[in-house]
Structure 1
């Protein structure tokens, strides 16, 4: 199930959640979570993503983030599109992936990659109380 969410204030700080399709436990393998971190670093350096906090769970990601260029939706779109292709290819090319056939089947449909659930969940952070409810380590990636 995807989340329908629209960012109204593209420059505001948001609590964001991206979920792997069918809640598949892809990030239980360090190699795939490292690909996520590499791309988040890229988005920080090149696309102006500001990451205040993050956590990678086995099948989803939480971020507290904003965009310097007030284009958070665009950054999220590009991040999800790139990482979907990159991780799917990494699974295909990984000779040590014991779940390869199952993962490739679960993360595709009619020859199209379906790595992420449609949309994402996001909430604009308005209060410190809301921020403190989020069980995330406050650390910058860089």
Structure 2
């Protein structure tokens, strides 16, 4: 993996993007989003993950986060969620795209020696250290405006799977340390 896609500063806050293979729109189902939220919450409680901002879009997840061993925490998060999300797709009797999604995850898994039968997330992840206030403000605006620009909501705080709710003074889905 390229050095630019790792977290080198253990005290840094990073903007991280985790993307579903082939940009498949998996997170159109609430139960899949909930699995990601539960996994992030677990990492917050057990792995010292601090989340400052986040947003789940239909095919990727953005996080502003930090942890003493962030790369390891996110690797574990991806490994865990990958297994449980693939299982959730398999078990979901109402999933109209089940065969297509499983075929896509299996095809990606066959191309990667480091994965099992299925691969859910694209390899690596995009890590940007938020080393200046300007960069932090720019990325925070981008993250919270993502659902608005996609046409899903009129206001960022209307997107349930986003920290925009917390930044608007409402209670959000995950525990967030607000950036002042």
Deviations 1:29-74 (A, max 9, x none): 111011000000000001110000000000000000001xx11011
Q: Which whole-Å CA distance do the structure 2 matches of 1:11 and 1:120 have between them?
A: 19
Give the secondary-structure state (helix, strand or coil) at the position aligned to 2:7: coil
In the alignment, structure 1 segments of 5+ residues that lack a partner are none
Paired position in structure 2 for 1:100? 98
| TM-score, normalised relative to structure 1 | 0.91
Match in the other structure for 1:124: 129
Residues 10 and 73, structure 1, Cα contact 8 Å, conserved in 2: no
Contact 1:4 1:120 in 2 (8 A): no
Higher helix share: 2
Structure 2 unaligned segments of length 5 or more: list them: 111-115, 145-162, 167-171, 176-180
Distance 1:37 1:24 in 2: 19
TM (norm. structure 2) is 0.73
Distance (whole Å) between structure 1 residues aligned to residue 15 and residue 91 of structure 2: 33
Contact (CA 8 Å) 2:4, 2:127: kept in 1 or not?
Answer: no
User: How many corresponding residue pairs?
Assistant: 139
Question: For the residues of structure 1 that align with 2:40 and 2:28, how far apart are their CA atoms?
Answer: 18
Give the structure with the larger strand fraction. Answer: 1
1:92 to 1:4, Cα distance in 2 relative to 1, 3 A: farther
Verify the 8 A CA contact 2:106 2:118 in the aligned structure 1.
yes
